[in-house]
Amino acid sequence: MLWRWSWGYQSLSSSSSCCTSTGTSTSTGIITSSSSKTGGTSSGTSTSSTSTSTSTIVSVNDSIKYYADQRSMTTLQEKMNALTILPSGLFCLYYLIMGKWLLPETLYKASQLIATASDGRGVGVGVGTTSSTFTTIAAAGAAETCLNWKFFPPPTILALCLGIIVHCPCSFLYHWKYAPYLQSQQRLQHWSRRLDHSAIHVCSMFWSYALSGGAGAGAGAGAGAGAGGGGNNLSFVLFNVMYNIDCIRYHWQPKVVPKRNQVRILISMLMYTLPLLVQSPPDDTILIDGTADTADIDDGDGDGKFFLRLVFFKLWTLFAVALWLFAVYPLKGWSHSAFHAVMLAIPPILLDAISKKEANGKWALSAAFCALAREE
């Protein structure tokens, strides 16, 4: 009897324990019944939690799949996406190589200073430029001295173009070579798409430097012209660099989350355009196109700030149209090409604005002296 009671007790205890953990026991009795009820509640909660978790995962996966399916394009449409990304890069190369950043107004001012020097009255170059600039060039000869003065565009203009030039081949590679042959979610996970979006953030780093007036290291007329001066410019640029590096990290995680990544790109766009709202341009910024002797120059009365804010308004008007095309896809598979087409207007606007800011700065005037000296 003692053995049977002991065996029965162990069976009851085992049954109770099993019920508590799984809720599947079929034993009877007060203890078993109580345990079964408890176990049933635990199992129900666990099952419900698992079901909810599974449902959430399925829901997320379905939404990502739906997002990818909505943006499925034909081979022709993807090829057109690739072709519409190229003009911006080609325009930047043309702008740099042909020296379009060196405005007629700058050449005119340099010629006036040369004429003044020829009269023996010295060279009063003005904002950010020493009076010995042209004297040095004229005395040492244009060939070697101009190389030393680096006959290149100001760093702000170079940074703006580099951002575009870095991004273009990455985007072209994805749209031309891989996207036409990838199915739905495969496109989201592919390394070429991750590279394309990472290059957008690299471009944002360059543009934060260009639109904030440089790092405050004397890089032309725009240096130190941002909100608070050169030190704040450098801090602003470094903050943008760190933010965009963090964004790039998300693009290379195993699971791609399109909405999150798109919001981060939008934030980076807002960040690099903010200096246009708050910075004060140099007092000699050229505001509108005109003849060399009648160009409208900012005389410090606030017109320069209005000029930069107008640039900001133009940018975000174009951004709004482009982002609407990207988000709503009103043209179906052709919407992405239309998005690229609208964005083609951005580089000319920015290059024109920065060139005017830099027009009477040390860097641009030195290059103008070299250009004129080479012609003689």
What is the CA angle 335-336-339, rounded to 5?
90
Structure confidence at residue 109 (pLDDT): 83
Region 112-123 average pLDDT: 61
Residue 239 has pLDDT above 50, yes or no: yes
Residue 357 has pLDDT above 90, yes or no: no
Q: What is the pLDDT of residues 6-18, one digit of tens each?
A: 444 444 444 444 4
Lowest-pLDDT range of 23-27, 83-87, 92-96, 99-103: 23-27
Region 201-218 average pLDDT: 83
Confirm if 206 and 167 have CB atoms less than 8 A apart.
no
Helix (H, G, I), strand (E, B) or coil at 375: helix
For residues 145 and 179, what is the distance between their CA atoms, to the nearest angstrom? 49
Its pTM stands at: 0.72
Residue 286 has pLDDT above 80, yes or no: no
Q: What is the pLDDT of residues 289-309, one digit of tens each?
A: 443 333 454 544 456 678 889
Which spans in 301-361 are helix H? 303-328, 335-343, 346-358
List the structure tokens of 306.
């209005």
Q: Which of 376, 364, 375 is nearest to 110 (CA)?
A: 364
Lowest-pLDDT range of 90-104, 105-119, 204-218, 345-359: 105-119
For residues 142 and 216, what is the distance between their CA atoms, to the nearest angstrom? 28
Region 234-238 average pLDDT: 92
For residues 113 and 94, what is the distance between their CA atoms, to the nearest angstrom? 29
For residues 309 and 289, what is the distance between their CA atoms, to the nearest angstrom? 17
Lowest-pLDDT range of 57-61, 71-75, 196-200: 57-61
- The confidence band for 226, taking pLDDT boundaries of 50, 70 and 90, is very low
Q: Higher confidence at residue 211 or residue 223?
A: 211
Amino acid at position 304, single letter: G
Q: What is the pLDDT of residues 23-65, one digit of tens each?
A: 333 333 333 343 444 444 444 444 444 444 444 444 555 666 6
List of residues 6+ apart from 105 with CB closer than 8 A: 286, 290, 292, 295, 359, 360
What does the mean pLDDT of the chain come to?
74
Q: What is the pLDDT of residues 178-187, one digit of tens each?
A: 999 988 778 8
Confirm if 349 and 214 have CB atoms less than 8 A apart.
no
Q: What is the pLDDT of residues 304-351, one digit of tens each?
A: 678 889 999 999 999 999 999 999 999 989 999 999 999 999 999 999
Q: Is the dihedral of CA 231, 232, 234, 238 positive or negative?
A: positive
DSSP string, 247-305: HHHHHTSSS--HHHHHHHHHHHHHHHHTHHHH----TT-B-S---TTT--B--SSSHHH
Structure confidence at residue 153 (pLDDT): 87
Amino acid at position 75, single letter: T
Q: Higher confidence at residue 42 or residue 91?
A: 91
Confirm if 190 and 170 have CB atoms less than 8 A apart.
no
Q: Is the dihedral of CA 268, 273, 277, 282 positive or negative?
A: positive
